[in-house]
Amino acid sequence: MSAEQATSVSKGVFAFKGKCKRVNEDDYVCDSKDRGRKARMTLYREIWEDLHTQIEILRSDLNCQIFDDLIAFVSGCHRHRDSPGDRSAQLLGEIPAAVLVTGVNTPDHDVMFANLESMLKSQVSPLVARVGAQDNCRISALLSDIVAQLMNVTLTSEEREDDEHDAGDLLPGEKSTAVSSSPIKLKVAPVRKRALNLTTLVKWYKKKFGAGSPCKSRSAPCSPRKRLKLEETGEANAEQLKATTNGSGVDKKPLVIIVFEDVENVNPAVFQDFISLCCSYLPSLPIVLILGIATAVTAIHQILPSAITSLLCMERFQAPPASRYLSHLMDKIVMVPDVAVKLGPKVFHFLLDTFLYHDFSILNFITAFQFCMSEHFLSNPLSVLCCGGEEVDYVTSQLSQAQLEDLRKLASFKSFVESCPPNVQSKLWSDNAVTRKYLSSALTELHQHHANLFPALRFLHCLSSALPKHPLGKQFRELYSLCLTTDVCESDSYKQAVTFLRLMSLDDLSKALAAACQALEEPSQSNEHLRPLFEEVERFVYRLGHLDEEEEQEEEKDMQQDANGVPLERILPQRTKLHELKEKLQSMSSKRRKSPYEKLREEILESLQSHLRRLITCPLTLPLHEALYFNDLAAVKEQLKAAPRCSTQRALTLPGRYLNCACCHGNEHSILPSMPDICIVYKLHLECGTLVNLYDWLQAFVTIITAAGDKGGKSKKKPQKPSTELRARFIRAVSELQFLGFIKSTRRKTDHVTRLTW
Amino acid sequence: MEIDLAPEPPSEGVADLTLGSQVRCRKYQVQTLLSLFGQRQHMTPGALFVYGHTATGKSLVVQTLLSYHKLPHILINCVECSSPRVLFEHILNNIPQNPDADIPDCDDDDEEEYIQCDDMTSFVRQLTNIVSEKPFGEQTLYIVLDKAERLRDSHIFMLPALLRLQELTGLNICTILISEIVWEKFRFGTGFNEPYCLHFPDYSRHELMEIMCLDSPSTCDKELYSMYINIVLSVFHMVCRDLRELRHLAKLNFPYFIEPVLSGEADATQTRKLWRNIEPHLKKALKSVYLREVSSQQWEKMQQAELENPDLEQTLTPSHRCQVELPYYSKFLLIAAYLASYNPMKYDRRFFAKNAGKVSKRSKLVKKNERASNHLLGPKVFPIDRLMAIFYSIVEGKVVPSAHIYVQISSLVSLHLLSQVKGEDRIGMPKYKCLITLDFIRSIARTVQFDVMRYLYDFL
């Protein structure tokens, strides 16, 4: 659009800044065909808001422990600084450094460090600087970055009242950059970027928090929580504060905390310089370093020589492994009855595989889950029924005529109708009231099933997780995925697990049963379907604990049975073959008198199995499950699992599908002259070996192109020389192919190129 | 300000060579420096060069000397000065206001003009202007450049000009360079004004002991502490002479030494008993000299855990140090990279092809001779195609070559488990090297039930 508008004598490329177009969501959502989309979108938003807060809470919970430790360490640093007696600590000149081993799930680190930063700011000291990996390749840049961060932060926190309306609506992350670029900031601190070095920082720090100006240090930024913390840290701290000469109510000087997010990727030379500099400024600045490491502490030694590490006083903190994080998340989000949207087996497996096999990233997992949700609401009209168990009646009663009509057109509704009793079937097609009623009852049933299913699965998991070879999986998610794909009670692994359970010793069984019983206790309070199971298990646990009482009763019965037992000799015929004898003996041994424990065990397992069979069935067999379950793997894969090479190759082999034109339709191997040049060239080069002769290639290309021209006339004369146009087209196609990375030039043979793909 | 309060540098005869007992074992150096400095108004040699190993008290002596006698000076760490401009501006902006203050006052006017300076000429001009206005005008101004070896990387005329600063400005200025390397290594280019070189030799064992005894906590008897230091030195002096490290070690292990004395188990005079008590701790610490992985608190925890169950800890610690958690395919990629790095390329066919070529007796014989060489030679470079080929042949099931897989390779590079040798993009055939050890790869392979040894040419 730009070239014609610009009037200029000289030739050139002109950049026109386009307007930033915001996508109007109504254009997307309000499709003429699908009227319910808007309603579903609001539904999606509500559910996602809910989930999002849950996820946030989960996140802060999980890192809570390690952050608490870290903060305790950091606030404990430099405690003896001001006390005059401890000369050694001062002279030793070690920078306290917390090494935070974060694990390799790199995409998540950003969130983690953002949390850490805000926690440090609120609880320890307002002076926190965060350094990413890539931005600093020179020591001066690194220093000015850190100093700018430190000085700006306190500026905003001190003059928050003034700045509130200026920078109030900016995000906290943007604040520092926004403030530093605004003219207001320049007026306050006339320090140019060039002059931002540690000396400036020292001066500034002295001025702000120095002992010489008590009035200023009293107004030093200090959140009430920090003051609380200071009080908590005990008498030692308080005494020390009093001991300082002018310490009447003067707060402790805030620490200077510098967080390196990814030490492995920091330029080692710069990092070494930085540490030795920090060390030389340690007497005037209470610096604490926090070093984030993805792999292991040994990485530090790969980066730093011993002269530098001897300046550090490190303490290690290990973040919990990502897989634990995942199971935590899945327990709360994916595998609970409360969250209405569920993942179907295929999508569930896909997300899980992506996490475990590829990236270990919780962030990606959550995003993928969110995508699945939005896709579910966007593409499935039935998802209008997706809601919590309590709202089912309301939602179904709110369905409009049009929505019901839409629903009736769906395939899943048809199968739903077929599952209903025959006398209502016809009504379902016409009578709205009946339809609503039946929809509501079906959905309630689905929710009820979920409420039963999950506790029952957990119960089974408790029992089976300790079995040898883990037939039902170590993790709950394995059992759940089995449940989604098949009927658990019919599966082989379930049978195997039961066999193992039959062989369990008294101690193990009673322990496992007690644990399982505990898992069942809470949900069974409100759910009458679970209660019989719970009560029965409780009884069994009791009986296992008091086995000897049972023994006495049993013995009496046994005495009677023994009386009419048959002596051994009678069973055995006089002459038998060996294998017959073997069989006989085996059958006898199985008939052998069982101990009371074995009997009880048998009874327990029979009872449990009947209960589990009742409670655990695959939810995907229930009618209308499509409302809750999202199982469209193709859609997710297309969006989330990028396979650039595959799609490029497919585009080149089957251009018709992409261009949507009739003339290019052919199968994978056919080469049509109507195809784009690059496709022809690509298909031709597939027939060659490692090295492709350019001239032969050109000839083949020309043959195909010209074959189209003289289809009618059978002029078999050899083309003398390809025309300039054809050559140009060929060269262009070849260079396009090179650009895509399929070939490259080689020096091994003249007029040849190398193939790069197979 | 009252200049009279500042103690005049006393004449050499009565000089306090410990500088208020802050400096030990450096009498000769302090004396030399003092005699070089002379009286306040005396002209001092234009340039001094102070050198010696790490932790031999160079910076300490110079700094304490200057601040103890309240001589006007500027301290600069050359690490910070990435460009000449930073150095110039640092000096110009930090000229002490009056000779009494150790560090320039910053309270008087915070809106003070920031002096800009871009090149040597204007630096000399501005310096002359500023210094001649100051009240200490006639006294020697000391400019201390710590880590002076960095100046060599700066502009070629930087070092000569700084050494001739006295000559260039015509002022009473003394430049002191502090460095860890000898003066000969500084000589490049021309125009040097040969500085006066002052060497700080390493501390002898006796001196180390004297200095380390200064750390003795107030609760502890001096004699007992010096005995402790003697023990520490007897263990560590062989492997480590760095004062800083030694002090760290001494501090770390002192609680174990003093514990029996405090609890009353042993008397302070029972040397043998105390020695027997501390020896195992020190031996353990000897294994991790210079590592600095643990702070004193964690060290304590570790030692306690070890005392409770000694077998467990010993098996855990080394593996725990380098344990890395990786996604499933990343592990296989890493294994593939290791195999590619340590196996000769021509044997790939034998390891990974379905019908492996027969090994003739002669080639077996040849192989015997060059055995164990690959692991001694270190990792070799391999192209990405070979990595992917090995990866696909060792991984179970079908893996789509999606972007996820390629991202994992680059994330392995960023974790420093692989290193990219050349080739910026995928088109240009990037080449990699595997950076991990055999132990590491074995522990990784064990987690995915892959017998890596069976595929390693060196261990066949």
**DSSP per-residue codes, A366-420:** HHHHHHHHHHHHHH-GGGGG---GGGHHHHHHT--HHHHHHHHTSHHHHHHHHHS
Q: How far is B335 from chain A (nearest CA, A)?
A: 15
Does B89 sit within 8 Å of A359, measured CB to CB?
no
Residue among B454, B455, B459 nearest B367 (CA):
B459
Does A18 map to a domain? no
Burial of A244 (0-12, 13-18, 19+ CB in 10 A): middle
B300: closest chain A residue by CA: A315
Check B294 against A315: CB less than 8 A apart: yes
Give tens-digit pLDDT for A212-226: 433 333 333 333 333
Residues of A in contact with B408 (CB under 8 A): 358-359
Interface touch B403/A356, C-beta < 8 Å: no
Query: Which of A2-11, A431-440, A561-570, B316-325 has maximum average pLDDT?
Result: A431-440
Window 111-170 of A: residues touching B by CB (8 A cutoff) are 138-140, 143
Mean pLDDT highest for which of A6-20, A178-192, B217-231?
B217-231
Distance between CA atoms of B158 and B154, rounded to whole angstroms? 7
Mean pLDDT of chain A: 75
Q: In this complex, do B114 and A190 lie within 8 Å of one another by their Cβ atoms?
A: yes
Stretch A80-85: mean pLDDT: 52
Interface test with B, best of A186, A263, A267, A297 (most B CBs within 10 A): A297
Distance of alpha carbon B185 from alpha carbon B36, whole angstroms: 24
CB-CB neighbors (< 8 A) of A305 in chain B: none
A361 plus A251 within the same structural domain: no
Q: Is the pLDDT of residue B231 over 90?
A: no
Of A502, A506, A494, nearest to A461 (Cα)? A494
Contacts of A753 (CB under 8 A, 6+ apart): A691, A692, A694, A734, A738, A743, A744, A745, A746
Nearest CB among B82, B106, B251 relative to A140 is that of: B82
The contacts of residue A162 (CB under 8 Å, 6+ apart) are none
Residue A86 lies in a domain: yes
Q: Which residues of B touch A279 (CB under 8 A)?
A: none
Q: What Rg value do the Cα atoms of chain A yield, rounded? A: 37
Under an 8 A CB cutoff, do B324 and A199 touch?
no
CA-based nearest residue to A100, from A362, A320, A355, A361 = A320
CB atoms A197 and B86 under 8 Å: yes
Q: Categorize the per-residue pLDDT at A283 as very low, low, confident or very high, splitting at 50, 70 and 90.
A: confident
ipTM: 0.79
Contacts with B328 from chain A: Cβ below 8 Å: 356-358
Q: What percent of chain A has a predicted confidence (pLDDT) above 70?
A: 75
Q: How far apart are CA A117 and CA A349, in angstroms?
A: 35
Are A385 and A443 part of one and the same domain? yes
* A295 with B416: Cβ contact below 8 A: yes
Locate the domains of chain B by residue range.
Answer: 3-200, 205-290, 328-459
Mean pLDDT of A84-101: 64
Smallest CA–CA distance, residue A306 to chain B, in Å, is 6
For the stretch A518-569, pLDDT in tens is: 887 777 777 777 888 888 888 888 888 877 776 666 566 555 555 554 454 5
Q: Residue A360 is nearest to which of B82, B147, B327, comparing CB atoms?
A: B327
One domain, residues A612 and A676: no
B94 contacts A199? CB cut-off 8 A: yes
Domain's final residue, options A288, A319, A350: A319
Asked if A282 and A190 sit in the same domain, the reply is yes
pLDDT for res B408: 87
Mean pLDDT on B29-56: 86
Percent of the residues in chain B that have a pLDDT greater than 90, as a whole number: 6
Q: What is the CATH number of domain B3-200?
A: 3.40.50.300
pLDDT tens readout for residues A355-392: 888 888 888 888 888 899 888 888 887 777 777 777 77
Same domain for A107 and A179, yes or no, is yes
Work out the percent of chain A whose per-residue pLDDT is above 90.
2
Residue B14 pLDDT:
46
CA distance B78 to chain A (A): 9
Give the minimum alpha-carbon distance from A619 to chain B in angstroms, rounded to a whole number.
29
pLDDT bracket for residue B341 (50, 70, 90): very high
Q: Is residue A40 part of a domain?
A: no
User: What is the arithmetic mean of pLDDT over B61-83?
Assistant: 85
> Containing domain of residue A113, as a range?
64-159+172-319
How many residue contacts between A and B have a Cβ separation below 8 Å? 168
Contact at CB, B110 and A206, closer than 8 angstroms: no
- Is residue A656 located within the same domain as residue A620? no
Q: Which of A306, A323, A637 to mutate to test the interface with B (most CBs of B within 10 A)?
A: A306
Which of residues A366 and A237 earns the better pLDDT score?
A: A366
Are the Cβ atoms of A273 and B403 closer than 8 angstroms? no
**Are A616 and A706 in the same domain?**
no
- The residues facing A290 across adjacent strands are A98, A259
The single residue listed with the structure tokens 């540098």 is B9
Q: What is the pLDDT of residue A734?
A: 92
pLDDT band at B369 (very low <50, low <70, confident <90, very high): low
pLDDT for position A185: 39
- The beta strand positions in B193-242, using DSSP E, are 196-200
What is the pLDDT at residue A88?
A: 43
Non-local (6+) Cβ contacts of A368 within 8 A are A351, A354, A636, A640
Torsion over CA: A691, A694, A700, A704 (sign): positive
Closest residue, chain A, to B243 (C-alpha) = A92
| Nearest-angstrom CA–CA distance, A676 and A661 | 11
Furthest CA-CA distance within chain A:
120
CA-based nearest distance A156→chain B, Å? 19
Residue B263, pLDDT score: 81
* Residue B176 pLDDT level (bands cut at 50, 70, 90): very high
For the stretch A144-172, pLDDT in tens is 888 888 887 544 443 333 333 333 333 34
DSSP B100-131: T-SS---SS-TTPPPPP--SHHHHHHHHHHHH
pLDDT confidence band for B332 (50 / 70 / 90) = very high
Q: Is residue A636 part of a domain?
A: no
pLDDT value at position B272?
Answer: 83
Report yes or no: B261 and B224 within 8 Å, Cβ to Cβ: yes
Give A700-758 pLDDT, tens digit per residue.
999 888 876 655 444 455 556 778 888 999 999 999 988 888 888 888 888 888 887 76
Which chain B residue's Cα is nearest to A76? B297
| C-alpha distance from residue A44 to each of A32, A383, B445 (Å) | 20, 9, 44
Sheet with B418-422, strands from edge to edge, namely: B382-383, B431-434, B418-422
Q: What is the CA radius of gyration of chain B?
A: 31
Contact list in B for residue A358 (CB cut-off 8 A) is 327-330, 404-405, 407-408
Which one of A199, A298, A363, A645 would you mutate to disrupt binding with B, by most B Cβ within 10 Å of its Cβ? A199
Res. B372 pLDDT band, cuts 50 70 90: low
Instruction: Tell which of A319, A350, A369 closes a domain.
Output: A319
Contact B414 A356 (CB under 8 A): no
Of A140, A143, A643, the CB nearest to B403: A643
* A690 and A743 housed in the same domain: yes
Asked if A744 has any chain B CB less than 8 Å from its own CB, the reply is yes
Are the C-beta atoms of B138 and B41 separated by less than 8 Å? Answer: yes
Same domain, yes or no: A96 and A193? yes
| Number of domains forming the structure of chain A | 3
pLDDT at residue B131 is higher than 90: no
- Find, in chain B, the residue whose alpha carbon is nearest to that of A107: B411
Q: What is the pLDDT of residue B423?
A: 61
The owner of tokens 């998991």 is: A461
Q: Is the minimum CB–CB distance between A301 and chain B shorter than 8 Å?
A: yes
Residue whose tokens read 């096999």: A357
Are A253 and A209 contacting, i.e. CB atoms less than 8 angstroms apart?
yes
User: In the predicted model, what is the mean pLDDT of residues A307-333?
Assistant: 81
Q: Tens digit of pLDDT for each residue in A399-412?
A: 778 778 877 877 77
Tell me, yes or no, whether A547 and A695 share the same domain.
no
Residue B192 reports pLDDT greater than 90: no
- Pair (A308, A400) in one structural domain: no
Same domain for A729 and A751?
A: yes
Interface test with B, best of A357, A360, A636, A754 (most B CBs within 10 A): A357
SS3 B211: helix
Sign for the CA dihedral angle at B11, B16, B22, B24 comes to positive
